[in-house]
Amino acid sequence: MKRAVLLITEGRDLPAVLAARWIKRYLEIPHDLYVVARDLQPGAKQLMGLSGAAFIPCRYPALSVNFEKLQAVSLLTCYDQVLYLDTDVLIQAPLDGIFELPGGLAAAIQPEQYPLHEMFRDRAILPDKTWPYFNAGVMLFSRAGLPDPAWLSRTLECMLPAVLSKGVPWIGDQGLFNLAAATLELNFKDLPSVYNACPGVHDGATPAIWHFRPPAVKPWSNRAGGFLADWYVKKTGARPLFHPAYDAWDLEYKQFKEKVFVWIKTP
């Protein structure tokens, strides 16, 4: 079985470099790693190359880089399974088990208190809420459980105008994948929270993947990780979170800087 992992990044090279290193560390089964980026600093590209990353060009340069997640579906024409990961993550445990999950699409259903849940239910593209709204930051696609990848990729692209025309903040790629899953009745399974845990929301065992998605502050912008300047709080109004995941991310960053001598502009 052929497997691939896809990352996308724009303007924040450091998190992408760290994510690539963690994938190399925690994913033992054979896989190929791909990165989509409009522009990478030479040092970042070098380091991701050392982690085994191959680079593919942007397919939708006129849109937000988040829509490059569509390339995960395109990769299914060559791979049996494709794991997509946002780069605002911290990987702390082996990932091999994620590829054993059933279904054509595995993604984490959003908790009811998540603010975008209300947005989707009341205003956006799933008004009757007959389909569970899921987070698009960690998604596993399995070709055996999905329609023909080429057809699915074309269908997703055809859905883009409908999503973009809604004009709802944040709807973007989240809306696109939720619309596709509901409309096409994809073989969807809820991703266990250990693979998409949000600091401040997730309770339970230490997860394999911490995902710093709203309402969590990004780890490179949080005082709890020792990496937030006073001006950031004043500028954004973001409230720092004190959570072990931030301490762990900051420790990984510190160790990275001690071992790696290639300069990378921090986010």
Helices then strands, each counted (H, E), the chain: 8, 9
Domains, the chain: 3-259 (3.90.550.10)
Contact 132, 45 (CB under 8 A): no
- Angstrom CA distances, 84 to 39, 140, 165, stand at 20, 6, 25
Block means of pLDDT (10 residues each) for the chain, 267 residues, are 94 87 96 91 86 93 92 97 96 96 93 54 54 88 96 93 73 84 90 91 83 80 49 52 83 85 56
Q: What is the pLDDT of residue 151?
A: 95
Q: What is the pLDDT of residue 224?
A: 44
Q: What is the pLDDT of residue 228?
A: 42
Contact 244, 197 (CB under 8 A): no
Question: Which residues, in sequence order, are bridge partners of residue 189?
Answer: 106
Sign of the CA dihedral 33, 37, 39, 41? negative
